[in-house]
């Protein structure tokens, strides 16, 4: 449950975009689950192209993909994210939780032109 005083927002397009970006590198069971949740057919390429076309109409979406060094990231995920969405996977520093949150916070501030601080 989100409390009224928190500063949280959910944007359906960003959630769908993010899940679509990780789909190509997901393992079989996770891939099937994501396809089911998103109501995608086995051929997700048409959805990826539709999202890219939607973004080319002036919609700006910035969706970083942060990961820790202990996670194995498949090349298909990296290539799809970069090719279709211009997104890059970013390594989260391992110097502690404050440093990790600081890295994400800095990225958000810079990539929203300081509109979200």
Least confident of 6-20, 57-71, 93-107: 6-20
53-62 long-range contacts (CB < 8 A, ≥24 apart) are 54/13, 55/85, 59/13, 61/13, 61/14, 61/17, 61/85, 62/111, 62/112
- φ, ψ of residue 22 to 5 degrees: the values are -85, -15
**Per-residue model confidence (pLDDT) at position 60:** 63
Using the predicted structure, report yes or no on whether residue 37 has a pLDDT greater than 70: yes
User: Residues 92, 67: contact at Cβ < 8 Å?
Assistant: yes
Domain residue ranges of the chain, discontinuous segments joined by +: 12-111
**Per-residue model confidence (pLDDT) at position 31:** 85
Region of 114 on the Ramachandran plot (φ > 0 left; ψ -120 to 50 alpha; else beta)? left
Mean pLDDT of 53-64: 69
**Per-residue model confidence (pLDDT) at position 10:** 57
Q: What is the pTM of this model?
A: 0.54
Give the CATH fold of the 12-111 domain: Antithrombin; Chain I, domain 2 (3.30.497)
User: Residues 56, 7: contact at Cβ < 8 Å?
Assistant: no
Query: How many CA atoms does the CB half-sphere of 22 hold within 13 Å?
Result: 22
């Amino acid at each position: 449950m989100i409390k009224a005083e928190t500063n949280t927002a959910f944007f359906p397009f960003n959630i769908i975009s993010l899940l679509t970006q990780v789909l190509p590198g997901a393992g079989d069971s996770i891939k099937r689950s994501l396809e089911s949740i998103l109501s995608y057919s086995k051929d997700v390429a048409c959805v990826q192209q539709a999202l890219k076309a939607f973004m080319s109409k002036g919609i700006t979406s910035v969706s970083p993909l942060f990961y820790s060094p202990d996670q194995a990231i498949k090349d298909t995920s990296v290539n799809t994210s970069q090719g279709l969405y211009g997104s890059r996977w970013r390594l989260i520093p391992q110097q502690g939780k404050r440093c990790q949150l600081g890295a994400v916070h800095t990225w958000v501030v810079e990539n929203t032109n300081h509109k979200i601080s």
